Structure 1
Amino acid sequence: MRQGTTGDGGLSLVERRKAALRFEIACAAVHLFTSQGVAATTGEQIAQSVGISSRTLWRHFPTKESCVLPLLTAALDFAVDRLRHWPAETSLLDFFAETCRKGDLPAATPEILDLIRMTSTEPALRAVWLQAHDDALPVLGGLLARRSGADSGDLRVTVHAATLNGALRAAVEDFARRYADRPDAADAELARCLDAALRAASEGLPY
């Protein structure tokens, strides 16, 4: 067994603690960004609010804006994980509809919604958001390639992965925008945004 991992292939205690700290840093960064602005916030302030040194913060994240990455990738990580359990006989649209029906969607916390709304007005945060989706593109492409039996470099697979990626991003952004004043918005609203985005993507280019 590789050192630092658990026997069942899950995260080791050290890795879980690291992930928890990164998530705590992300939440603290969003709180400071929303309360005093991105430009006025320093990495030192983020570190202080979590109770760690600046040196520790910079070991985890290269910039203050990148501190929010764990929150921005949460929904993408969820989507990728769900797609790994996509039954062969079920269409993509039906699979996500069933996922939504079961209420398995990740929690849309106020911190995540605030952050996603800020990506539309803060260029540095927008860059982190788009980078998160760009990093997810080859992963989605690999899953679709295995599903179809095509090569991951196939142009059709790449286009389909980009379409799915864009639909997921648009759905989350639409939900964050629509329910800015409703922090208690239910999973049903998020499910509707996701369903509408995926249905639009499945139409192709009807222009």
Structure 2
Amino acid sequence: MSLRERKKARTRALIQREALRLFRDQGYAATTVEQVAEAAEVAPSTVFRYFPTKEDLVVIDEDQDFLDALRDAPAELGPVGAVRHAMRVWTAAQSADELAEGVERERLMLTVPEVWASSLKSITGSVTAMQELLARRAGVPMEAMRNRTGAIVGVIFAVWLTWSSSPGSDGPAELDRALAELEVLDTAPAPQVRNAG
């Protein structure tokens, strides 16, 4: 990254960190973009340049690192094993502060209706990208990986709900255990999709 790109990334991270702190301390609805700008020592227009809406201060597209780790997972791993491997790589690359901020964002997504609505597009895109990668790894059409991807996402979402309501718990370890249980069941090859007609 160039010096300018690094500066922009630091500014973006600072704005979001201050927003999350204010949301935690005084509530999402009670916090204004102007207050976020003041806390981050930037102009409100700078906040809007990085985050077009207030909801965007919570929702973050951080899945590319996970998808890269999934793409690079050892070829011999099945779908669940590959996701489990990618989750380990992804969480290991984050600091304790980054993991804590992630939990705070997830709590807000689950408790603030407008943030949840705003995050659905990102979540849907991530699930589709995961399904596509898993299908490519298995050498099957995307449709053949739909149910397995759904089962994996269901496990991730269940742990996400628990972790968001109990921030003191070890979310990554709980997720690894839950995926390990699912991995035991994931031994059959992916089904072939029949063409209609």
1:174 to 162, 170, 176: 162
What TM-score comes out, normalization by structure 1 length? 0.71
Name the counterpart of 1:121: 111
CA distance in 2, matches of 1:53, 1:98: 38
Structure 2 unmatched ranges of 5 or more: 187-197
Name the counterpart of 1:142: 132
Name the counterpart of 2:74: 87
Give the AA of the match of 2:72: H
Seen in structure 2, the aligned counterparts of structure 1 residues 125 and 46 have a Cα distance that, compared at 3 Å, is: same
Tell me, yes or no, if structure 1 residue 104 matches structure 2 residue 92.
Answer: yes
Report SS of the residue matched to 1:119: helix
Give the AA of the match of 1:190: P
Is the 8 Å Cα contact of residues 25 and 46 (structure 1) preserved in structure 2? yes
Name the counterpart of 1:156: 144
Percent identity between matched residues is 28
Seen in structure 2, the aligned counterparts of structure 1 residues 148 and 91 have a Cα distance that, compared at 3 Å, is: closer
CA distance in 2, matches of 1:79, 1:117: 20
RMSD across aligned C-alpha pairs, in angstroms? 3.1
Seen in structure 2, the aligned counterparts of structure 1 residues 37 and 134 have a Cα distance that, compared at 3 Å, is: same
Tell me, yes or no, if structure 1 residue 192 matches structure 2 residue 174.
Answer: yes
Q: Deviations over 1:103-141 (max 9, x none)?
A: 726345333323322333211222234333112123212
CA distance in 2, matches of 1:138, 1:107: 27
Name the counterpart of 2:29: 39
Name the counterpart of 1:7: none
Is the 8 Å Cα contact of residues 61 and 67 (structure 1) preserved in structure 2? yes
Cα shift at 1:196? 0.8
Seen in structure 2, the aligned counterparts of structure 1 residues 99 and 111 have a Cα distance that, compared at 3 Å, is: closer
Give the AA of the match of 2:157: R
What TM-score comes out, normalization by structure 2 length? 0.74
After alignment, is 24-33 or 141-150 more displaced? 141-150
How many pairs does the alignment contain?
183
Seen in structure 2, the aligned counterparts of structure 1 residues 166 and 132 have a Cα distance that, compared at 3 Å, is: farther
Name the counterpart of 2:49: 59
Compare relative contact order (CA 8 Å, sep 6+) and give the higher one, 1 or 2.
Answer: 2
CA distance in 1, matches of 2:178, 2:65: 19
Cα shift at 1:145? 2.5
Report SS of the residue matched to 1:120: helix
Structure 1 unmatched ranges of 5 or more: 1-10
Is the 8 Å Cα contact of residues 65 and 124 (structure 1) preserved in structure 2? yes
Is the 8 Å Cα contact of residues 174 and 193 (structure 1) preserved in structure 2? no
Cα shift at 1:97? 5.6
Q: Deviations over 1:162-189 (max 9, x none)?
A: 44334333323322323x3x3xx55xx5
Seen in structure 2, the aligned counterparts of structure 1 residues 168 and 79 have a Cα distance that, compared at 3 Å, is: farther
Cα shift at 1:87? 1.0
Seen in structure 2, the aligned counterparts of structure 1 residues 197 and 127 have a Cα distance that, compared at 3 Å, is: farther
Cα shift at 1:33? 0.8
